[in-house]
């Protein structure tokens, strides 16, 4: 009897050791072996990931990624973990993730079904929409108003792809131009090289608010699509995804997300101390209550209407 108990204990210990070892494969093993985790960051995705006036990377997505870093450091039992910031663009973020250059991408990346064929995403941490920014003097209220005009979007984005598709489907004859990043695209509208900039509304609002003349710009009420943002990571690494997902879900469920959100969307942010004053959307509130890494826009588009119907019943 004593022998059988001993065997059970040894088998249990072996399984535990095996599970622990299995968790330290792929990206987790790489991080533990090197003592370094590399974050893909953006230069001008305000307020998600950007360079401030001191050339330091910061933002909403970076704060969330650092929460993940702390959780991974604890999981791996490391007394210290070096965090390396590696700049990426809309065009380079997926290739640099796929080839192992970056471990987490902390920017303003839309989680969609097409991208999920190449990379994985943590639970959604922001929900925005694809809209049109233009100068008020241009009188652009909807996509149809851009017929035959010059329009810019950022290279490597889902926004650019959608804009190109709509241009063909609706026979709009737009002259579509590409910019290397969001700051360059906004500058093209600011200087008159483009009539409009099509991008996620939160990024458009941030760029306009940070410009020399914020009152000169308007953002369309018409939304071309729903865009859920998530921290991006490599595909086919279930142990790492589980660690990242758990860390993000803890931030959402603990209420810590409210503090981080308030810091970046309802408080003055560097470098100019501008307050975007954007309350948390109903879509994001729903994700906080029930985390999801879905890349299907219908998951998020259906939320406000369902909540409205629920409110009517009450």
Percent of the chain whose pLDDT exceeds 90: 87
Last residue in a domain, options 201, 226, 251: 226
Q: Across residues 189-213, what is the average pLDDT? A: 96
* Residue 84 within any structural domain of the chain: yes
Q: What pLDDT, on the 0 to 100 scale, is given for residue 23?
A: 47
* Residue 10 within any structural domain of the chain: no
* Residue 188 within any structural domain of the chain: yes
Last residue in a domain, options 178, 199, 226: 226
Same domain, 210 and 240: no
Per-residue buried b or exposed e for 103-135, using 16+ beta carbons within 10 Å of the residue's own CB: bbbbbbbbbbeebeeebbbbbbbbbbbbbbbbb
- Alpha-carbon distance of 244 to 164, in angstroms, equals 34
Last residue in a domain, options 187, 210, 226: 226
Lowest mean pLDDT among 59-68, 143-152, 295-304: 295-304
Q: Is 41 helix (H, G, I), strand (E, B) or coil?
A: strand
Q: Which residue has the higher pLDDT, 55 or 313?
A: 55
Mean residue pLDDT across the chain:
90
Q: What pLDDT, on the 0 to 100 scale, is given for residue 304?
A: 40
Same domain, 30 and 44: yes
Q: Would the pLDDT of 6 be above 50? A: no
Number of domains the chain contains: 2
* Residue 7 within any structural domain of the chain: no
Same domain, 264 and 281: yes
* Residue 238 within any structural domain of the chain: yes
Residues in CB range of 130: below 8 A, 6 or more apart? 158, 159, 162, 198, 199, 200, 201, 223, 224, 225, 227
Q: Would the pLDDT of 280 be above 60? A: yes
pLDDT band at 302 (very low <50, low <70, confident <90, very high): low
Helices (H) and strands (E) in the chain, counts: 11, 16
Q: Across residues 222-248, what is the average pLDDT? A: 96
Residues in CB range of 157: below 8 A, 6 or more apart? 90, 110, 199
Q: Would the pLDDT of 114 be above 70? A: yes
Q: Across residues 97-103, what is the average pLDDT? A: 96
What are 249-275's pLDDT values in tens digits?
Answer: 999 999 999 999 999 999 999 999 999
- Alpha-carbon distance of 52 to 90, in angstroms, equals 19
CATH of the domain at 52: 3.40.190.10
* Residue 211 within any structural domain of the chain: yes
Closest by CA to 282, choosing from 131, 128, 111, is 128
Q: Would the pLDDT of 119 be above 60? A: yes
Q: What pLDDT, on the 0 to 100 scale, is given for residue 301?
A: 77
Look at phi and psi of residue 173 and say left if phi exceeds 0, alpha if psi is from -120 to 50, else beta. Answer: left
**Domain span holding position 77:** 20-125+230-313
Beta bridge partner(s), residue 200: 130
What are 29-76's pLDDT values in tens digits?
Answer: 999 999 999 999 999 999 999 999 999 999 999 999 999 999 999 999
Q: What pLDDT, on the 0 to 100 scale, is given for residue 25?
A: 77
């Amino acid at each position: 009897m004593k022998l059988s108990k001993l065997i059970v204990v040894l088998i249990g210990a072996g399984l535990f050791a095996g599970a622990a070892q299995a968790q330290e494969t792929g990206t987790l093993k790489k991080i533990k072996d090197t003592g370094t985790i590399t974050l893909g960051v953006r230069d001008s995705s305000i307020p998600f990931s950007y360079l401030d006036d001191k050339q330091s990377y910061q933002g909403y997505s970076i704060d969330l990624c650092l929460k993940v870093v702390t959780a991974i450091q604890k999981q791996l039992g490391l007394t210290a973990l070096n965090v390396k910031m590696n700049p990426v663009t809309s065009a380079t973020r997926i290739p640099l993730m796929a080839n192992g250059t970056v471990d987490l991408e902390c920017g303003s990346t839309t989680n969609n079904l097409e991208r999920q064929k190449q990379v994985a995403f943590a639970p959604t941490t922001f929900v925005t929409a694809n809209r049109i920014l233009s100068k008020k003097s241009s009188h652009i209220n909807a996509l149809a108003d851009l017929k035959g005009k010059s329009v810019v979007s950022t290279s490597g984005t889902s926004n650019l792809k959608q804009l190109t598709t709509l241009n063909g489907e609706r026979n709009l004859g737009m002259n579509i131009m590409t910019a290397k990043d969001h700051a360059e695209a906004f500058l093209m509208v600011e200087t008159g090289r483009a009539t409009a900039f099509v991008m996620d509304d939160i990024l458009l609002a941030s760029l306009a608010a940070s410009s020399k003349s914020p009152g000169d710009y308007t953002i369309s009420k018409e939304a071309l699509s729903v865009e859920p943002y998530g921290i991006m990571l490599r595909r086919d690494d279930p142990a790492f995804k589980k660690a990242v997902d758990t860390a993000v879900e803890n931030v959402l469920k603990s209420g810590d997300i409210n503090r981080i959100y308030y810091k970046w969307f309802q408080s003055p942010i560097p470098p100019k101390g501008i307050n975007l004053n954007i309350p948390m959307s109903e879509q994001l509130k729903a994700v906080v209550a029930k985390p999801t890494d879905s890349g299907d826009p219908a998951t998020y588009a259906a939320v406000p209407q369902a909540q409205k119907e629920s409110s009517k019943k009450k």
